[in-house]
Structure 1
Amino acid sequence: MSTNTEFSACFVTVPNEDVGKKLAYSIVEGKLAACVNILPQVKSIYVWESKIQEDSELILMIKTQHSKVPALIEHVKQNHPYSVPEVIELPILQGNPAYLKWITDSVEK
């Protein structure tokens, strides 16, 4: 195992599979991440405009380098249908060294 904080997993919620796939492809094609997983059937309960809301969504789990996160956030903001899209970064503290190298090799420097 390698311990490193230069890698991140980011989470983005999307309203449906079409939006999720389009956004995932644009992220990977733009070399902002090595991989995007689309996790289905999430029930989100949240406060929006002073009301409790409930929606069915999907989650994109995005594996990238920490240095790419600012560009990833901007890309999501520009290409997402929500006025305030969720983009949350979590550090990857440990991982398979070969997998972390693959992330590095897959995103642009």
Structure 2
Amino acid sequence: MSSEDPKYQLQNSSLHSAVYVTTPNEEVAKKIAHGLVKEKLAACVSIIPKITSIYEWNNEINEDSEALLMIKTRTSKVDDLIPYVKANHPYTVCEVISVPIMKGSKDYLDWIDKIVPEK
């Protein structure tokens, strides 16, 4: 497996982002994920079920079972993605954290570009 082989080529890119969103359950996660893909705000949403979140809310330490969305998209779409998530999320304050994809498979990043149109 050579890094010179185009099949394994990495691409430097901050043009793409991974966005993380926690949801109260898989039903809400699937609803948001389907909407993001349908609206072309994301190329792919992976749902990671049954995570445990421990956090402070209203001066109390809470522990909840949640599902995590890992959303792959263009960085230019994040500003549209955030209000979509907030409008379709049951939490008063929902987690929406975007991190740039600094390197990735060129084929995969090209696929994101094909699925998610430029803003």
User: How do 1:53-68 residues align onto structure 2 when only pairs under 5 Å count?
Assistant: 53-68=62-77
Task: State how many pairs are aligned.
Answer: 109
Q: Give the secondary-structure state (helix, strand or coil) at the position aligned to 2:52.
A: strand
* Percent of aligned pairs sharing the same letter: 52
Q: Give the secondary-structure state (helix, strand or coil) at the position aligned to 1:32.
A: coil
Deviation at 1:108, TM superposition (A): 2.2
**Aligned residue identity for 1:88:** I
Aligned partner of 2:84 in structure 1 is: 75
Of Structure 1 and Structure 2, the greater strand share is in: 1
Structure 1: gaps spanning 5 or more residues: none
Q: Does 1:32 align with 2:41?
A: yes
Q: Does 1:93 align with 2:112?
A: no
Q: Does 1:13 align with 2:22?
A: yes
RMSD (CA atoms): 0.6
Q: Distance in 1 between matches of 2:29 and 2:50?
A: 12
Q: Distance in 1 between matches of 2:80 and 2:59?
A: 30
Specify which of 11, 18, 25 is matched with residue 2 of structure 1.
11
Deviation at 1:44, TM superposition (A): 0.4
Deviation at 1:49, TM superposition (A): 1.0
Structure 2: gaps spanning 5 or more residues: 1-9
